[in-house]
Amino acid sequence: MPSCNAANFATDTANHPNFTARLNNWKSANSCVHTLVSGDCLTEEEATCYSSYMLDQARSKLDADLTSVYQPDTATVAVFDSNYQTTMLTGLVWAALGTTVLYYAFTKI
């Protein structure tokens, strides 16, 4: 089967009419089979494409989560932690510099 993009099915009313309503029927009924008469369920091609699309989305999210687990130094949490620690260290340096300047200002004046 050629690659498909299920994200475009909702806007393609010519090839996939009432896709959202048929998708909801397909999700709610486990044995929903598309018939030529009723047309209230996804076609075999649409169901296959939508399932593949959702599996790809879940796999992309899982890959991103696994990357943050196995490569913590490049993870988003590590970047935020590094920024936080840099901010705290900079604050300490400014506090030390400020108290040193005040000490010399009051003792030498």
Confidence (pLDDT) at 31: 58
Confidence (pLDDT) at 1: 42
pTM: 0.53
* 34 phi-psi bin (left φ>0, alpha ψ -120 to 50, beta other): beta
Number of Cβ atoms within 10 Å of the Cβ of 16: 20
Confidence (pLDDT) at 34: 58
> pLDDT 10s per residue in the chain (109 long)?
456 777 777 777 777 777 777 777 777 766 565 554 456 777 777 888 888 888 999 999 999 888 878 877 777 788 888 999 999 999 999 999 999 999 999 998 7
